[in-house]
Chains A and B, each alone.
Chain A
Amino acid sequence: MTPRVLFAIALALAVASPAWSHHSHAMFDHSKAVTMEGTVTEFVFRNPHVFLYVDVKGANGETQNYWIEMSNIPNMIRRGIGQGTFKAGDRISVELYPLKDGRPGGSYVTITAADGKVYQ
C-alpha cells in the first residue's frame, strides 16, 4: 500500500465515525490489562471479528474457556496473524482488556504464541 493511500486511510479514520468499528468497546475495562496463560481451544479466522477461545486455569483450579475478541481479517493479516497462526492445543499467553461484567472474556492487546513470538 502506498504512503498516500495509507495517509488517505488514516485521514478517513481520523474523521470517520465509529461506523467502521463494529461496536463500542465500552464493554471492556481499558483501565487494566490482564495477562493469562492457557490452551487454545479454537481460533475463528473470520470477518467482521476474529475470535480466539482459550482454556485458562484459575486460582481455584477450575478451568474457564475465555472468549477473546480480536480485530478484522485485514488488520490481522497486516499484523502477521493468519488462519494457521493459532491452533487448538497451543499454549499461549494473552494480554487482554477484560469484560467489565466479569464474564470470562476480553479484547486482546498482545498474544505471545507457543514459539515466543509476540503478536499485537
Chain B
Amino acid sequence: MKAAAFVVATLIAGPAVAQTTIFTTTDFHKDQALWTDPAYYRNNTVAQLRGMAIDFDSGGRGTGQEAGARAYGSPGTGKAGALNLATPYPFTTAWDHYQAWLEEARGGTKHTRATVPDWSGRWAGGPAGLTGGGNPASYVASLLTPKYREYFVQEVKAYAEGRVWSPGAFCLPGGFFASLEAEEFIVTPDRVWTLGAGNGSNTTRWIYTDGSGHSPPEAEFTKWHGESVGFWNGDTLIVHTNQIRGWKGGLSEFTDTLESVERYRRVGDRIEGEITLYDPDVFVRPIHARMTFELDKETRPELRPLYNTCTDTNGPASKVHLDDRGLLNERLPGDPLYWNAADPRPWGTYLTESDRRYERYKSQRR
C-alpha cells in the first residue's frame, strides 16, 4: 500500500527538476535567491570559477585559463569559512578606526633617522583572500550588497565562460588593490613610500607620517591609489587611505567611498599586516584581511624590479588611431572602438554587451 502511494505521488510530482546553477541558468538576473547558495556555483570557489573557460564550440569540454584550469561546470571544493573576511573591529568608519588607534598610540611615535624601522630589501606578498580566491563564491556574494552581488555574479559567470574584462587587458591602471602588493618599503621619519613592479605596470604609494594630514575637503579628489596618511606606534605603521578612485579589484568592484585602515609591523624576515576596508555601498559590513610580505634574500640581478608599461607590447589605446587621411586622430562617442574615459564601469558596459552577443552567438550555433 505504501509502495503504491509512493508511485502515485512520484507520478503526480513528475521528474525531479535539477537546481538552476550559474552554469545552466538562462538569465542569472532572476536567480537572486540562489546567489548566496553554494549549490548555485556547484560549490566552486571564486578561483575555481575563474579557472574555467568554456570553449563553446567544443560543447563545453575545453578549458582555457593557464593557471588552475578546470573543466567548465565541474564541482568545486569550496569550504565555508575557509577564510574569514569579517572585520573583528567594532568601527563603522575608517576614520573612527584610525582615530581610535591613534589615541591608543597616544598621538604616535616620532621617529628619527636613527630609530625608524629597517624595512629595506625586496618583499613578496600582499593581502590574503581579498580577491575572494579560495572562498566559496557564495560566501563572497554574501559579503556584498544586492547591487554589487549582482555585479559579482555577472562577472564570475562571464569569467567561467572565458569572457574576461581586466584592466590590464586594456593597459588601464590596476587601481587601489594593485598598490597593496608592495615589493619595497622606503621608510623615512616623515614619509613611507611603497613600490611595486608588475610586468605591465608599476605602483607607488606615498604615506605621509609627518602629521600634515589629509588634503582639505575642498581640495579632495579621487586618485588611483587614494591619499594615505599614517603614524607610528613604536615599530608599527598605521595608515589611513581615502579619496580612492572607484574601480574594480579585491572581492569586487568598489566605489569612490572606499576607505581603508592598514597596520604593518616587521617580524624577522616578514612584514605582517592587516587591512580593514570600509565601503558601505559595496560591503554589507567592513571587510578585513591579513597581509603578509616575505623577505626575498636571493633576488637575482636580472630579476630586479623594472619600470614596465603595458603598452610596450600591447600598443597604444585604441581611442587614438591613424585615420583614413593618415593623420593621428581620436575616436569620438559613437565611433567604433571609442574608449569612454568617463564610463565608471567599463567592465559593466563590456559584460552587458558581451552577455547579449554571447547568447546570440550560442543560439546561432545550436
Which residues from chain A sit less than 8 Å from chain B, CB to CB? 1-2, 4-5, 7-9, 11-31, 44, 46-51, 72-74, 77-78, 100, 107
**Stretch in B50-58, B184-192, B207-215, B341-349 touching the partner:** B50-58
Contact A31 B164 (CB under 8 A): no
Contact A8 B294 (CB under 8 A): yes
Residues of B within 8 A of A30 (CB): 53, 55, 62-64, 69
Contact A1 B313 (CB under 8 A): no
Interface of chain B, main secondary structure: loop
Which of A23, A27, A48 has the largest count of B CB atoms less than 10 A from its CB? Answer: A48
Contact B67 A47 (CB under 8 A): no
Contact A5 B294 (CB under 8 A): yes
Size class of the contact patch on chain B: 35 or more
CA distance A12 to B314 in the complex (A): 25
7 contacts between A and B (CB under 8 A): A1-B298, A1-B300, A2-B297, A23-B164, A30-B55, A47-B306, A78-B303
Known contacts A2-B296, A16-B131, A19-B166, A29 near B313 by CB under 8 Å: no
Contact B313 A15 (CB under 8 A): no
Known contacts A19-B249, A28-B64, A47 near B168 by CB under 8 Å: no
Residues of B within 8 A of A4 (CB): 269, 294
Contact B55 A100 (CB under 8 A): yes
B133: Cβ under 8 A from any A Cβ: yes
Known contacts A29-B55, A44-B313, A20 near B65 by CB under 8 Å: no
Residues of B within 8 A of A28 (CB): 64
Query: Which single member of A7, A14, A26, A47 contacts B199 (CB below 8 Å)?
Result: A47
CA distance A26 to B162 in the complex (A): 5
Known contacts A2-B297, A5-B124, A18-B50, A24 near B199 by CB under 8 Å: no
Residues of A within 8 A of B80 (CB): none
